[in-house]
Structures are given as structure tokens and as C-alpha cells.
Amino acid sequence: MICDDAKNPESFRDFLSLYSSQAKYIGNKIYFYDDIDSTNNEAKRKSNCCDGTVFVAAKQTAGRGRRGNTWVSDDKGIWMSILLKPKIKSELAQCITLVAGLSVSEAIDGSMIKWPNDIVIGNKKLGGILTELISLGGSEFAVVTGIGVNVNTTSFHESISKIATSVYLHTGIKSSRKVLFKDICSNFEKNYSILLKSGFAGIRDKYKSRCITIGRDVILKGVEGDSFAFAEDIDKNGGLIVRNNKGVFTVNSGEVSVRGLFGYV
Ligand code: BTN
């Protein structure tokens, strides 16, 4: 299972083409690019494509993270965006980002989720999710869920090296992007269908079992500044239940960013 295909984009391309010919839903159509600005941008440009189309790039030249951050995307990671056209309320669409985080974490042994959807291992960030809604006119919308995983990256710029890691840096083993891609897609397909059928409640227990934020002191970084709280639980809609000197309340992923008190996690 372990092999380094990072130096061989052709083989990744061939694999994706075979994968899409056999995929039932997620990845039934896959676009692969040697390099592109951002797979999320491309998915938005191609939002007329069908539900479940996946956009994958060997490299991104303008990868985007949450909160306007840049996402450094060398040729050794998984950079992919899934285009979805669910017939659900936009509130539930926010949970798709949690589905993606769970699906990535399930694909990488030992990884956990920092609420809402940072993938962490050994107290460092291994991957992240950027979900965006696109209006298709009227009340119709599409969802683009961008997934970034640092797979075989060997070093990071000193500005992020204290908080960023890759599967390789953590394990010392080069991993196959093909295997990881396949596992992420099949986990996503399974978890997303549960979400559509049963709401977030259907995956809540699995999500909680991988969420490293619960039971920790956290800093809530909101528009009105920072505040301290204790993370108690995840509610039935995927919100984070916290307690501070004002009482117990729920924060939603769009409203705050969470930091550990003693570092990134
Ligand atoms: C984060 O800030 O944690 C989210 C990072 C999301 C990165 C992925 S890589 C594929 C997709 N294309 C982008 O430009 N961003 C997402």
C-alpha cells in the first residue's frame, strides 16, 4: 500500500481516471490538473458540472485556506474539491464541512479533528477543509468542499513549521496519494449519505470520538475579540458547546475560530 507517487503525476492521473470510471457517486467525474490556482476556484467556475464531480490538482498556485489565509500547496499533497448539489437547507450545508473533516480523519490513522474541521496529528495541523456555497439562482445552491492534506511534504516555511506537519513528517513513511484519495472519497460518500438521511445527529458520535477539542480550555476568536472558555461537547447540529463565566452556550463554526490555550491545538 505504501509508495511514493508524488514524483509521478502521470500515475496519479491514470489512477483518477480509472477511479472515476468505477465511482458510483463521489468522483463519478474527476478533473485533474498538473497545476491550477485553486481547486475550489475551479469547482466554482465549473459549477454547472454534476453532483459529485471532484476537482484534483497536483499543485495549486493560489490555494486558499479559511479566513482568507493562503494554503501552501506543493506537489506532494492532496488538493481536491468536491462539487455537491444537495436539496437541503443551507443550515445543514454547514455540516458538510464537518463530514469532510471526519472523512479525512478516518482515512489517516492517528489523526484527530480540531473543531470544526482542522485535521491534526501530534498537536500539529495536517490538513484543512474550506467549504463554500455558490448560489445557482433562486433558492438553489451548490456546495464546494475543498480538502487539503499535507501528505509527503518534507519541510514547511519557518513561519508555519511550528504548527504544520505532513503524514510523512509525522510517520517517517511516504504515503500513497491514491490510497488516501480513495479512502477519503469512500468515507465522504458514506458519511455524507448519513448526513442527508439523518442530519448531523447521524454522525455525531463518530465525529465526537475524533474531536480533540472536547474537554479542553480554548480561546474563542470572534469579531468582538478573544475570550476564554471550556469546550464541553458538540451539539446535534455540529456546534461547539462551551462554558465560561457567563454560562453555557453554543458557538457555530462561522462565528469563531478556536485555539488551544497552550498552542495551536
Ligand atoms: C484551512 O484553512 O484549514 C482550509 C484549507 C483548505 C485547503 C484546500 S486545498 C484544496 C482546496 N482548494 C483551495 O484553494 N483550498 C482547498
Q: DSSP string spanning the chain?
A: -----TT-HHHHHHHHHHHHHH-SSTTSSEEEEEEES-HHHHHHHTTTSPTT-EEEEEEESS-B-GGG-B----TTEEEEEEEE---S-HHHHTTHHHHHHHHHHHHSTT-EEETTTEEEETTEEEEEEEEEEEEEETTEEEEEEEEEEE-S-----TTTTTTB--HHHHHS----HHHHHHHHHHHHHHHHHHHHHH-GGGTHHHHHHHBSSTTSEEEEEETTEEEEEEEEEE-TTSPEEEEETTEEEEE-TTT-EEEETTB--
**CB-ligand 1 contact for 66 (6 Å cutoff):** yes
Average pLDDT of 110-120? 95
Average pLDDT of 102-114? 97
Residue nearest to atom 10 of ligand 1 (CA): 79
Ligand 1 atom with the shortest distance to the CA of 118: 3
Q: How far is the CA of 201 from the centre of ligand 1 (A)?
A: 26
Ligand 1 atom with the shortest distance to the CA of 67: 2
Q: How far is the CA of 32 from the centre of ligand 1 (A)?
A: 16
Distance of CA 64 to the CA centre of its chain: 12
**CB-ligand 1 contact for 116 (6 Å cutoff):** no
Higher-pLDDT residue of 192 and 67 is 192
**CB-ligand 1 contact for 146 (6 Å cutoff):** yes
Strand partners, 145: 82, 131
- In contact, 217 and 188? CB cutoff 8 Å: no
Residue 3 above 80 pLDDT? no
Q: How far is the CA of 143 from the centre of ligand 1 (A)?
A: 14
**pLDDT exceeding 70 applies to what percent of the chain?**
93
**CB-ligand 1 contact for 152 (6 Å cutoff):** no
Indicate the average pLDDT of the chain. Answer: 92
44-58, 93-107, 181-195, 245-259: range with lowest mean pLDDT: 245-259
